Structure 1
Amino acid sequence: MSFGVFLAVLFAAFLHAGWNALIKMGADKLGGMVMLSVAHGVLALPLALISPWPSAETWPWLIGSGLIHFAYQVFLMLAYQHGDLSRVYPIARGTAPMLVLIVSMLALSDAITAPEVAGILVLGGGIALMARGVLTNGESRRMLPYAFGAALATAGYTLTDGLGARASGEPVAYVGWLMIASALFYAPAAVALKGRAVLRASPRAWGLGMIAAAASFGAYAIAVWAMTRAPIALVGALRETSILFAVLIGWVFFRERLDRGKLIAAALIVAGVMLTRL
Protein backbone atom coordinates (compact mmCIF):
# COMPACT_ATOMS: atom_id res chain seq x y z
CA MET A 1 0.00 0.00 0.00
CA SER A 2 1.41 3.38 -1.02
CA PHE A 3 1.63 6.23 1.48
CA GLY A 4 -1.02 8.19 -0.45
CA VAL A 5 -3.52 5.33 -0.31
CA PHE A 6 -2.67 4.81 3.37
CA LEU A 7 -3.54 8.45 4.14
CA ALA A 8 -6.72 8.25 2.04
CA VAL A 9 -7.98 5.21 3.97
CA LEU A 10 -7.20 6.90 7.28
CA PHE A 11 -9.19 9.92 6.09
CA ALA A 12 -12.09 7.61 5.16
CA ALA A 13 -11.95 6.15 8.67
CA PHE A 14 -12.05 9.66 10.12
CA LEU A 15 -15.04 10.55 7.92
CA HIS A 16 -16.94 7.48 9.13
CA ALA A 17 -16.36 8.39 12.76
CA GLY A 18 -17.11 12.01 11.88
CA TRP A 19 -20.60 11.44 10.48
CA ASN A 20 -21.50 9.50 13.60
CA ALA A 21 -20.24 12.44 15.66
CA LEU A 22 -22.48 14.81 13.68
CA ILE A 23 -25.53 12.68 14.50
CA LYS A 24 -24.47 12.61 18.16
CA MET A 25 -24.00 16.41 18.09
CA GLY A 26 -27.55 17.22 16.98
CA ALA A 27 -30.12 18.03 19.66
CA ASP A 28 -32.79 16.22 17.64
CA LYS A 29 -31.19 12.91 16.71
CA LEU A 30 -34.34 11.58 15.05
CA GLY A 31 -34.38 14.63 12.82
CA GLY A 32 -30.67 14.23 12.14
CA MET A 33 -31.20 10.65 11.00
CA VAL A 34 -34.06 11.78 8.75
CA MET A 35 -31.79 14.37 7.13
CA LEU A 36 -29.09 11.75 6.69
CA SER A 37 -31.49 9.22 5.20
CA VAL A 38 -33.13 11.72 2.83
CA ALA A 39 -29.74 13.07 1.73
CA HIS A 40 -28.56 9.51 1.05
CA GLY A 41 -31.60 8.96 -1.14
CA VAL A 42 -31.05 12.22 -3.04
CA LEU A 43 -27.36 11.47 -3.59
CA ALA A 44 -28.16 7.93 -4.75
CA LEU A 45 -30.98 8.90 -7.13
CA PRO A 46 -28.77 9.83 -10.13
CA LEU A 47 -26.81 6.61 -9.64
CA ALA A 48 -30.00 4.55 -9.61
CA LEU A 49 -31.49 6.30 -12.64
CA ILE A 50 -28.50 5.56 -14.88
CA SER A 51 -28.35 1.94 -13.72
CA PRO A 52 -30.46 -1.02 -14.84
CA TRP A 53 -33.83 -1.51 -13.17
CA PRO A 54 -33.52 -4.14 -10.41
CA SER A 55 -34.52 -7.64 -11.44
CA ALA A 56 -37.37 -9.51 -9.77
CA GLU A 57 -34.82 -11.62 -7.87
CA THR A 58 -33.21 -8.48 -6.43
CA TRP A 59 -36.30 -6.81 -4.94
CA PRO A 60 -36.68 -9.13 -1.91
CA TRP A 61 -33.06 -8.41 -0.96
CA LEU A 62 -33.53 -4.67 -1.45
CA ILE A 63 -36.70 -4.57 0.64
CA GLY A 64 -35.21 -6.77 3.35
CA SER A 65 -32.03 -4.74 3.51
CA GLY A 66 -33.99 -1.48 3.51
CA LEU A 67 -35.91 -2.66 6.57
CA ILE A 68 -32.70 -3.74 8.32
CA HIS A 69 -31.07 -0.38 7.53
CA PHE A 70 -34.14 1.27 9.03
CA ALA A 71 -33.68 -0.78 12.21
CA TYR A 72 -29.99 0.13 12.27
CA GLN A 73 -30.74 3.85 12.07
CA VAL A 74 -33.32 3.61 14.86
CA PHE A 75 -31.00 1.65 17.16
CA LEU A 76 -28.07 3.98 16.45
CA MET A 77 -30.17 7.08 17.11
CA LEU A 78 -31.40 5.67 20.44
CA ALA A 79 -27.90 4.57 21.44
CA TYR A 80 -26.54 8.08 20.90
CA GLN A 81 -29.41 9.53 22.91
CA HIS A 82 -28.34 7.50 25.94
CA GLY A 83 -24.61 6.94 25.53
CA ASP A 84 -21.28 8.50 24.65
CA LEU A 85 -19.87 8.42 21.12
CA SER A 86 -16.67 6.90 22.50
CA ARG A 87 -18.69 4.07 24.05
CA VAL A 88 -21.46 3.43 21.49
CA TYR A 89 -19.34 3.55 18.33
CA PRO A 90 -16.72 0.94 19.36
CA ILE A 91 -19.40 -1.48 20.59
CA ALA A 92 -21.57 -1.13 17.49
CA ARG A 93 -18.65 -1.09 15.05
CA GLY A 94 -16.73 -3.90 16.70
CA THR A 95 -19.54 -6.36 17.40
CA ALA A 96 -20.87 -6.40 13.83
CA PRO A 97 -17.88 -8.06 12.07
CA MET A 98 -17.69 -10.66 14.83
CA LEU A 99 -21.35 -11.56 14.26
CA VAL A 100 -20.90 -11.63 10.47
CA LEU A 101 -17.93 -13.98 10.80
CA ILE A 102 -19.75 -16.34 13.17
CA VAL A 103 -22.92 -16.45 11.02
CA SER A 104 -20.86 -16.95 7.84
CA MET A 105 -19.13 -19.89 9.46
CA LEU A 106 -22.24 -21.52 10.95
CA ALA A 107 -24.96 -20.73 8.41
CA LEU A 108 -23.08 -20.20 5.15
CA SER A 109 -20.42 -22.89 5.74
CA ASP A 110 -17.58 -20.45 5.08
CA ALA A 111 -14.14 -21.62 6.20
CA ILE A 112 -12.66 -19.80 9.19
CA THR A 113 -8.93 -19.29 9.71
CA ALA A 114 -6.85 -19.30 12.89
CA PRO A 115 -6.35 -15.48 12.79
CA GLU A 116 -10.11 -15.06 12.49
CA VAL A 117 -10.68 -17.25 15.56
CA ALA A 118 -8.11 -15.17 17.43
CA GLY A 119 -9.84 -12.03 16.19
CA ILE A 120 -13.20 -13.21 17.54
CA LEU A 121 -11.67 -13.89 20.96
CA VAL A 122 -9.87 -10.53 21.11
CA LEU A 123 -12.97 -8.73 19.86
CA GLY A 124 -15.14 -10.42 22.44
CA GLY A 125 -12.76 -9.37 25.21
CA GLY A 126 -12.64 -5.76 24.01
CA ILE A 127 -16.41 -5.51 23.67
CA ALA A 128 -16.96 -7.05 27.12
CA LEU A 129 -14.48 -4.59 28.63
CA MET A 130 -16.13 -1.66 26.85
CA ALA A 131 -19.60 -2.76 28.04
CA ARG A 132 -18.28 -3.29 31.58
CA GLY A 133 -17.15 0.33 31.62
CA VAL A 134 -20.77 1.43 31.25
CA LEU A 135 -21.69 -0.47 34.41
CA THR A 136 -18.70 0.57 36.50
CA ASN A 137 -18.58 4.26 35.51
CA GLY A 138 -22.22 5.04 36.26
CA GLU A 139 -23.15 5.63 32.62
CA SER A 140 -26.66 4.98 31.32
CA ARG A 141 -27.16 1.25 30.90
CA ARG A 142 -29.97 1.91 28.44
CA MET A 143 -27.45 2.50 25.66
CA LEU A 144 -26.16 -1.09 25.73
CA PRO A 145 -29.16 -2.87 24.14
CA TYR A 146 -29.41 -0.13 21.52
CA ALA A 147 -25.69 -0.30 20.68
CA PHE A 148 -25.84 -4.08 20.39
CA GLY A 149 -29.05 -3.73 18.36
CA ALA A 150 -27.21 -1.44 15.94
CA ALA A 151 -24.41 -4.00 15.71
CA LEU A 152 -26.87 -6.82 15.04
CA ALA A 153 -28.56 -4.76 12.32
CA THR A 154 -25.16 -3.93 10.79
CA ALA A 155 -24.32 -7.63 10.64
CA GLY A 156 -27.75 -8.31 9.15
CA TYR A 157 -27.51 -5.79 6.33
CA THR A 158 -23.88 -6.75 5.64
CA LEU A 159 -24.90 -10.35 4.98
CA THR A 160 -28.09 -9.35 3.16
CA ASP A 161 -26.32 -6.85 0.92
CA GLY A 162 -23.57 -9.31 0.09
CA LEU A 163 -26.09 -11.91 -1.05
CA GLY A 164 -28.32 -9.28 -2.70
CA ALA A 165 -25.47 -7.75 -4.70
CA ARG A 166 -24.52 -11.22 -5.92
CA ALA A 167 -28.10 -11.94 -6.92
CA SER A 168 -28.45 -8.64 -8.78
CA GLY A 169 -25.24 -8.90 -10.77
CA GLU A 170 -25.14 -5.08 -10.66
CA PRO A 171 -23.57 -4.08 -7.32
CA VAL A 172 -23.40 -0.36 -8.13
CA ALA A 173 -27.08 -0.24 -9.09
CA TYR A 174 -27.92 -2.31 -6.02
CA VAL A 175 -26.28 0.23 -3.69
CA GLY A 176 -28.11 3.12 -5.37
CA TRP A 177 -31.54 1.54 -5.09
CA LEU A 178 -30.77 0.38 -1.55
CA MET A 179 -30.11 3.95 -0.39
CA ILE A 180 -33.39 5.06 -1.93
CA ALA A 181 -35.27 2.17 -0.30
CA SER A 182 -33.75 3.03 3.08
CA ALA A 183 -34.84 6.67 2.76
CA LEU A 184 -38.36 5.59 1.75
CA PHE A 185 -38.63 3.45 4.89
CA TYR A 186 -37.08 5.82 7.43
CA ALA A 187 -38.49 9.23 6.49
CA PRO A 188 -42.20 8.21 6.51
CA ALA A 189 -41.70 6.26 9.76
CA ALA A 190 -40.14 9.32 11.40
CA VAL A 191 -43.04 11.50 10.23
CA ALA A 192 -45.50 8.95 11.63
CA LEU A 193 -43.73 9.05 15.01
CA LYS A 194 -43.05 12.78 15.33
CA GLY A 195 -45.32 14.40 12.76
CA ARG A 196 -44.30 16.66 9.91
CA ALA A 197 -42.40 18.88 12.32
CA VAL A 198 -39.48 16.47 11.98
CA LEU A 199 -39.11 17.64 8.37
CA ARG A 200 -39.30 21.31 9.35
CA ALA A 201 -35.98 21.22 11.12
CA SER A 202 -33.69 24.19 11.45
CA PRO A 203 -31.23 25.03 8.67
CA ARG A 204 -28.45 23.93 11.04
CA ALA A 205 -30.04 20.49 11.46
CA TRP A 206 -30.45 20.08 7.70
CA GLY A 207 -26.88 21.22 7.23
CA LEU A 208 -25.54 18.69 9.73
CA GLY A 209 -27.57 15.94 8.07
CA MET A 210 -26.30 16.82 4.61
CA ILE A 211 -22.69 17.02 5.80
CA ALA A 212 -23.08 13.68 7.58
CA ALA A 213 -24.49 12.10 4.41
CA ALA A 214 -21.65 13.51 2.31
CA ALA A 215 -19.11 12.22 4.84
CA SER A 216 -20.76 8.80 4.81
CA PHE A 217 -20.72 8.64 1.02
CA GLY A 218 -17.17 9.98 0.90
CA ALA A 219 -15.91 7.40 3.38
CA TYR A 220 -17.44 4.57 1.34
CA ALA A 221 -16.22 5.95 -2.01
CA ILE A 222 -12.66 6.39 -0.76
CA ALA A 223 -12.65 2.86 0.64
CA VAL A 224 -13.88 1.39 -2.66
CA TRP A 225 -11.26 3.38 -4.59
CA ALA A 226 -8.53 2.27 -2.19
CA MET A 227 -9.50 -1.36 -2.75
CA THR A 228 -8.54 -0.92 -6.42
CA ARG A 229 -5.08 0.31 -5.38
CA ALA A 230 -4.24 -1.95 -2.43
CA PRO A 231 -5.18 -5.39 -1.01
CA ILE A 232 -8.83 -5.44 0.03
CA ALA A 233 -8.09 -7.10 3.38
CA LEU A 234 -5.49 -4.45 4.21
CA VAL A 235 -7.87 -1.61 3.35
CA GLY A 236 -10.64 -3.21 5.41
CA ALA A 237 -8.36 -3.61 8.41
CA LEU A 238 -7.04 -0.05 8.24
CA ARG A 239 -10.58 1.34 8.07
CA GLU A 240 -11.21 0.03 11.57
CA THR A 241 -9.02 2.81 12.96
CA SER A 242 -12.31 4.74 12.81
CA ILE A 243 -12.93 3.28 16.29
CA LEU A 244 -9.92 5.14 17.65
CA PHE A 245 -10.99 8.31 15.84
CA ALA A 246 -14.44 8.04 17.45
CA VAL A 247 -12.91 7.68 20.92
CA LEU A 248 -10.68 10.73 20.34
CA ILE A 249 -13.54 12.82 18.87
CA GLY A 250 -15.70 11.94 21.88
CA TRP A 251 -12.93 12.99 24.25
CA VAL A 252 -11.94 16.24 22.46
CA PHE A 253 -15.28 17.58 21.21
CA PHE A 254 -17.84 16.09 23.60
CA ARG A 255 -15.67 16.10 26.72
CA GLU A 256 -16.37 12.42 27.26
CA ARG A 257 -14.43 10.56 29.91
CA LEU A 258 -11.31 8.83 28.58
CA ASP A 259 -9.85 6.40 31.07
CA ARG A 260 -7.39 3.55 30.73
CA GLY A 261 -10.13 0.91 30.57
CA LYS A 262 -11.84 2.60 27.62
CA LEU A 263 -8.54 2.99 25.75
CA ILE A 264 -7.60 -0.66 26.31
CA ALA A 265 -11.07 -1.81 25.23
CA ALA A 266 -10.95 0.31 22.06
CA ALA A 267 -7.47 -0.98 21.22
CA LEU A 268 -8.60 -4.60 21.70
CA ILE A 269 -11.62 -4.04 19.47
CA VAL A 270 -9.47 -2.50 16.72
CA ALA A 271 -6.91 -5.33 17.00
CA GLY A 272 -9.63 -7.98 16.96
CA VAL A 273 -11.36 -6.53 13.90
CA MET A 274 -8.02 -6.26 12.08
CA LEU A 275 -7.31 -9.92 12.81
CA THR A 276 -10.65 -10.92 11.28
CA ARG A 277 -9.90 -8.81 8.17
CA LEU A 278 -6.36 -10.00 7.43
Structure 2
Amino acid sequence: SEDTYSATAVAIAVGVFVFAPVAALTWRMEQSAWPYIAASSALELLYLVLLSAGYARAAMSFVYPIARGSAPVIVLLASVLALGVGVSLLAAAGVVVIAVGILLVRGLRGAGSMGELSIALGVGACIAGYTLVDKHGIAHANPFSYLEVVFALTALGYVAGALRLRGAGALRQGLRASSVLAGVGFFAAYALVLAALRLAPAASVAAVRESSVVFATAWLALSGRERVTRERLAGACAVVAGVALVSLG
Protein backbone atom coordinates (compact mmCIF):
# COMPACT_ATOMS: atom_id res chain seq x y z
CA SER A 1 0.00 0.00 0.00
CA GLU A 2 1.03 3.63 -0.50
CA ASP A 3 3.21 5.19 2.20
CA THR A 4 1.10 8.16 3.33
CA TYR A 5 4.07 9.93 4.92
CA SER A 6 6.20 9.80 1.76
CA ALA A 7 3.28 10.67 -0.52
CA THR A 8 2.44 13.69 1.65
CA ALA A 9 6.07 14.83 1.67
CA VAL A 10 6.19 14.70 -2.13
CA ALA A 11 2.83 16.47 -2.47
CA ILE A 12 3.74 19.44 -0.28
CA ALA A 13 7.20 19.81 -1.87
CA VAL A 14 5.65 19.80 -5.35
CA GLY A 15 3.08 22.42 -4.33
CA VAL A 16 5.79 24.75 -3.03
CA PHE A 17 7.88 24.29 -6.19
CA VAL A 18 5.01 24.79 -8.67
CA PHE A 19 3.63 27.94 -7.03
CA ALA A 20 6.99 29.60 -6.31
CA PRO A 21 6.90 31.70 -9.54
CA VAL A 22 3.38 32.97 -8.72
CA ALA A 23 4.51 33.97 -5.23
CA ALA A 24 7.58 35.72 -6.62
CA LEU A 25 5.57 37.71 -9.18
CA THR A 26 2.99 38.84 -6.60
CA TRP A 27 5.40 39.26 -3.70
CA ARG A 28 4.35 41.49 -0.80
CA MET A 29 5.45 40.71 2.73
CA GLU A 30 5.36 43.04 5.71
CA GLN A 31 7.63 42.43 8.70
CA SER A 32 4.53 42.05 10.86
CA ALA A 33 3.49 38.95 8.88
CA TRP A 34 6.33 36.77 10.20
CA PRO A 35 4.87 35.86 13.61
CA TYR A 36 1.71 34.66 11.86
CA ILE A 37 3.78 32.73 9.31
CA ALA A 38 5.75 31.02 12.09
CA ALA A 39 2.57 30.04 13.96
CA SER A 40 0.76 28.89 10.81
CA SER A 41 3.66 26.77 9.54
CA ALA A 42 3.98 25.06 12.95
CA LEU A 43 0.25 24.27 12.96
CA GLU A 44 0.37 23.08 9.32
CA LEU A 45 3.29 20.78 10.14
CA LEU A 46 1.46 19.30 13.12
CA TYR A 47 -1.68 18.98 10.97
CA LEU A 48 0.18 16.98 8.31
CA VAL A 49 1.86 14.73 10.87
CA LEU A 50 -1.44 13.97 12.62
CA LEU A 51 -3.32 13.53 9.33
CA SER A 52 -0.76 11.04 8.01
CA ALA A 53 -0.84 9.18 11.33
CA GLY A 54 -4.63 9.15 11.24
CA TYR A 55 -4.84 7.76 7.71
CA ALA A 56 -2.20 5.14 8.57
CA ARG A 57 -4.22 3.93 11.57
CA ALA A 58 -7.86 4.42 10.61
CA ALA A 59 -10.18 4.63 7.61
CA MET A 60 -10.43 7.94 5.78
CA SER A 61 -14.21 7.80 6.21
CA PHE A 62 -13.55 7.90 9.98
CA VAL A 63 -10.76 10.49 10.19
CA TYR A 64 -11.92 12.99 7.55
CA PRO A 65 -15.47 13.77 8.74
CA ILE A 66 -14.43 14.07 12.39
CA ALA A 67 -11.41 16.27 11.63
CA ARG A 68 -13.29 18.52 9.24
CA GLY A 69 -16.47 18.64 11.28
CA SER A 70 -14.76 19.54 14.55
CA ALA A 71 -12.74 22.42 13.04
CA PRO A 72 -15.62 24.96 12.67
CA VAL A 73 -16.78 24.14 16.21
CA ILE A 74 -13.30 24.84 17.58
CA VAL A 75 -13.10 28.08 15.56
CA LEU A 76 -16.48 29.13 16.97
CA LEU A 77 -15.48 28.26 20.54
CA ALA A 78 -12.18 30.12 20.17
CA SER A 79 -14.03 33.16 18.80
CA VAL A 80 -16.39 33.09 21.79
CA LEU A 81 -13.77 32.52 24.48
CA ALA A 82 -11.00 34.73 23.09
CA LEU A 83 -12.95 37.46 21.32
CA GLY A 84 -16.21 37.49 23.27
CA VAL A 85 -18.31 36.79 20.18
CA GLY A 86 -21.91 35.83 20.99
CA VAL A 87 -23.34 32.44 19.98
CA SER A 88 -26.77 32.24 18.39
CA LEU A 89 -29.22 29.40 19.04
CA LEU A 90 -28.70 28.28 15.45
CA ALA A 91 -24.94 27.98 15.93
CA ALA A 92 -25.42 26.17 19.24
CA ALA A 93 -27.78 23.73 17.53
CA GLY A 94 -25.16 23.23 14.82
CA VAL A 95 -22.58 22.25 17.44
CA VAL A 96 -24.98 19.64 18.84
CA VAL A 97 -25.72 18.23 15.37
CA ILE A 98 -22.00 18.01 14.59
CA ALA A 99 -21.43 16.16 17.88
CA VAL A 100 -24.15 13.66 16.93
CA GLY A 101 -22.58 13.29 13.49
CA ILE A 102 -19.17 12.58 15.00
CA LEU A 103 -20.71 9.90 17.23
CA LEU A 104 -22.30 8.27 14.17
CA VAL A 105 -19.05 8.42 12.21
CA ARG A 106 -17.20 6.82 15.09
CA GLY A 107 -19.95 4.23 15.41
CA LEU A 108 -22.46 3.75 18.19
CA ARG A 109 -20.50 0.64 19.21
CA GLY A 110 -17.25 2.58 19.29
CA ALA A 111 -15.72 1.25 16.05
CA GLY A 112 -12.87 3.74 16.27
CA SER A 113 -10.51 3.65 19.25
CA MET A 114 -10.02 6.61 21.55
CA GLY A 115 -6.54 7.00 20.08
CA GLU A 116 -7.92 7.29 16.55
CA LEU A 117 -10.63 9.69 17.73
CA SER A 118 -8.02 11.82 19.52
CA ILE A 119 -5.90 12.04 16.37
CA ALA A 120 -8.91 13.07 14.26
CA LEU A 121 -9.88 15.75 16.79
CA GLY A 122 -6.25 16.88 16.91
CA VAL A 123 -6.34 17.37 13.14
CA GLY A 124 -9.51 19.44 13.57
CA ALA A 125 -7.82 21.58 16.22
CA CYS A 126 -4.90 22.25 13.86
CA ILE A 127 -7.28 23.26 11.06
CA ALA A 128 -9.06 25.63 13.42
CA GLY A 129 -5.76 27.04 14.65
CA TYR A 130 -4.22 27.85 11.31
CA THR A 131 -7.53 29.19 9.98
CA LEU A 132 -7.68 31.74 12.81
CA VAL A 133 -3.97 32.61 12.45
CA ASP A 134 -4.18 33.00 8.67
CA LYS A 135 -7.25 35.23 8.93
CA HIS A 136 -5.00 37.83 10.59
CA GLY A 137 -1.76 36.95 8.80
CA ILE A 138 -2.96 37.69 5.28
CA ALA A 139 -3.66 41.29 6.31
CA HIS A 140 0.12 41.76 6.27
CA ALA A 141 1.06 39.96 3.04
CA ASN A 142 -0.11 38.96 -0.42
CA PRO A 143 -1.98 35.62 -0.06
CA PHE A 144 0.31 33.79 -2.51
CA SER A 145 3.45 35.16 -0.85
CA TYR A 146 2.11 34.25 2.57
CA LEU A 147 1.08 30.76 1.49
CA GLU A 148 4.38 30.06 -0.25
CA VAL A 149 6.47 30.92 2.81
CA VAL A 150 4.17 29.05 5.20
CA PHE A 151 4.32 25.88 3.13
CA ALA A 152 8.03 26.21 2.34
CA LEU A 153 8.75 26.17 6.08
CA THR A 154 6.25 23.35 6.59
CA ALA A 155 7.82 21.35 3.76
CA LEU A 156 11.31 21.72 5.23
CA GLY A 157 10.18 20.17 8.49
CA TYR A 158 7.97 17.47 7.01
CA VAL A 159 10.33 16.35 4.24
CA ALA A 160 13.25 16.25 6.69
CA GLY A 161 11.19 14.05 9.01
CA ALA A 162 10.08 11.78 6.16
CA LEU A 163 13.70 11.39 4.98
CA ARG A 164 14.79 10.42 8.48
CA LEU A 165 11.94 7.99 9.10
CA ARG A 166 11.38 6.58 5.60
CA GLY A 167 14.58 7.25 3.65
CA ALA A 168 15.21 8.74 0.21
CA GLY A 169 14.05 5.56 -1.52
CA ALA A 170 10.57 5.83 -0.05
CA LEU A 171 10.31 9.45 -1.17
CA ARG A 172 11.30 8.49 -4.71
CA GLN A 173 8.56 5.84 -4.68
CA GLY A 174 6.14 8.48 -3.44
CA LEU A 175 6.80 10.60 -6.54
CA ARG A 176 3.66 9.55 -8.40
CA ALA A 177 1.15 11.40 -10.53
CA SER A 178 -1.40 11.21 -7.71
CA SER A 179 1.02 12.86 -5.26
CA VAL A 180 1.90 15.61 -7.73
CA LEU A 181 -1.76 16.36 -8.45
CA ALA A 182 -2.55 16.30 -4.74
CA GLY A 183 0.19 18.84 -4.05
CA VAL A 184 -0.97 21.24 -6.75
CA GLY A 185 -4.62 20.82 -5.78
CA PHE A 186 -3.98 21.29 -2.07
CA PHE A 187 -1.96 24.46 -2.62
CA ALA A 188 -4.51 25.94 -5.07
CA ALA A 189 -7.42 25.09 -2.78
CA TYR A 190 -5.85 26.77 0.20
CA ALA A 191 -5.03 29.85 -1.87
CA LEU A 192 -8.79 30.13 -2.46
CA VAL A 193 -9.38 29.74 1.29
CA LEU A 194 -7.01 32.63 2.00
CA ALA A 195 -8.84 34.75 -0.57
CA ALA A 196 -12.13 33.91 1.16
CA LEU A 197 -10.67 34.79 4.57
CA ARG A 198 -10.09 38.33 3.29
CA LEU A 199 -13.82 38.69 2.64
CA ALA A 200 -15.60 36.66 5.32
CA PRO A 201 -15.36 35.70 9.01
CA ALA A 202 -13.06 32.78 9.83
CA ALA A 203 -15.93 30.69 11.26
CA SER A 204 -17.94 31.04 8.04
CA VAL A 205 -14.98 30.13 5.82
CA ALA A 206 -14.13 27.13 7.99
CA ALA A 207 -17.75 25.99 7.83
CA VAL A 208 -18.07 26.23 4.05
CA ARG A 209 -14.86 24.22 3.57
CA GLU A 210 -16.29 21.31 5.49
CA SER A 211 -19.05 20.64 2.95
CA SER A 212 -16.40 18.40 1.35
CA VAL A 213 -17.06 15.85 4.10
CA VAL A 214 -20.15 14.34 2.49
CA PHE A 215 -18.59 14.36 -1.01
CA ALA A 216 -15.44 12.61 0.22
CA THR A 217 -17.45 9.99 2.10
CA ALA A 218 -19.73 9.36 -0.88
CA TRP A 219 -16.70 9.06 -3.19
CA LEU A 220 -15.10 6.46 -0.88
CA ALA A 221 -18.32 4.45 -0.88
CA LEU A 222 -19.00 4.66 -4.63
CA SER A 223 -15.39 3.97 -5.64
CA GLY A 224 -15.18 0.94 -3.39
CA ARG A 225 -12.00 2.20 -1.73
CA GLU A 226 -13.55 1.73 1.70
CA ARG A 227 -16.62 0.03 3.10
CA VAL A 228 -18.70 2.98 4.29
CA THR A 229 -21.58 1.92 6.54
CA ARG A 230 -24.96 3.66 6.45
CA GLU A 231 -24.28 4.84 9.98
CA ARG A 232 -21.02 6.49 8.94
CA LEU A 233 -22.58 8.08 5.83
CA ALA A 234 -25.44 9.43 7.96
CA GLY A 235 -22.86 10.82 10.37
CA ALA A 236 -21.02 12.59 7.56
CA CYS A 237 -24.29 14.16 6.38
CA ALA A 238 -25.08 15.23 9.96
CA VAL A 239 -21.65 16.86 10.25
CA VAL A 240 -22.28 18.89 7.08
CA ALA A 241 -25.77 19.87 8.29
CA GLY A 242 -24.32 20.99 11.61
CA VAL A 243 -21.57 22.95 9.90
CA ALA A 244 -24.23 24.72 7.80
CA LEU A 245 -26.10 25.70 10.98
CA VAL A 246 -22.89 27.05 12.53
CA SER A 247 -22.23 29.07 9.38
CA LEU A 248 -25.78 30.47 9.25
CA GLY A 249 -25.68 31.25 12.96
Q: TM-score range by the shorter chain?
A: 0.7 to 0.9
Judged with a 3 Å threshold, the aligned counterparts in structure 2 of structure 1 residues 237 and 189 are, in CA distance, closer, same or farther, namely closer
Residue matched to 2:71: 96
What are the ranges of 5 or more consecutive residues in structure 1 without an aligned counterpart? 1-25
Opposite residue 107 of structure 1, the aligned amino acid is A
Residue matched to 1:160: 133
Residue matched to 1:5: none
Maintained 8 Å contact 1:98/1:120: yes
- Out of 120, 124, 127, which is 2:99 matched to? 124
TM-score, length basis structure 2: 0.86
1:273 deviation in Å? Answer: 0.6
Maintained 8 Å contact 1:92/1:150: yes
More deviation, 236-245/154-163:
236-245
Residues 163-182 of structure 1: matches in 2 within 5 Å?
163-166=136-139, 168-182=140-154
Residue matched to 1:267: 237
- How far apart are the structure 2 equivalents of 1:170 and 1:144? 36
- How far apart are the structure 1 equivalents of 2:203 and 2:37? 26
Judged with a 3 Å threshold, the aligned counterparts in structure 2 of structure 1 residues 102 and 235 are, in CA distance, closer, same or farther, namely closer
Q: How many residues align?
A: 248
Residue matched to 2:180: 210
- How far apart are the structure 2 equivalents of 1:51 and 1:37? 20
1:191 aligns with 2:163: yes
What are the ranges of 5 or more consecutive residues in structure 2 without an aligned counterpart? none
Residues 1-278 of structure 1: matches in 2 within 5 Å?
27-52=2-27, 54-133=29-108, 135-136=110-111, 139=112, 142-166=115-139, 168-201=140-173, 205-220=175-190, 239-278=209-248
Instruction: Give 3-state SS (helix, strand or coil) of 2:83's partner.
Output: coil
More deviation, 101-110/40-49:
40-49
1:271 deviation in Å? Answer: 0.4
Maintained 8 Å contact 2:16/2:151: yes
Judged with a 3 Å threshold, the aligned counterparts in structure 2 of structure 1 residues 132 and 239 are, in CA distance, closer, same or farther, namely same
CA shift digits 1:72-129 (9 cap, x unpaired): 0011111111111211110011011110110111012223333222211211221123
- How far apart are the structure 2 equivalents of 1:79 and 1:40? 22
1:223 deviation in Å? Answer: 6.5
Opposite residue 170 of structure 1, the aligned amino acid is N
More deviation, 45-54/155-164:
45-54
1:158 deviation in Å? Answer: 1.0
Opposite residue 183 of structure 1, the aligned amino acid is A
Maintained 8 Å contact 2:143/2:191: no
TM-score, length basis structure 1: 0.77
Maintained 8 Å contact 2:69/2:98: yes
- How far apart are the structure 2 equivalents of 1:255 and 1:169? 40
- How far apart are the structure 1 equivalents of 2:47 and 2:100? 24
1:133 deviation in Å? Answer: 4.6
Maintained 8 Å contact 1:118/1:272: yes
Instruction: Give 3-state SS (helix, strand or coil) of 1:272's partner.
Output: helix
Maintained 8 Å contact 1:67/1:185: no
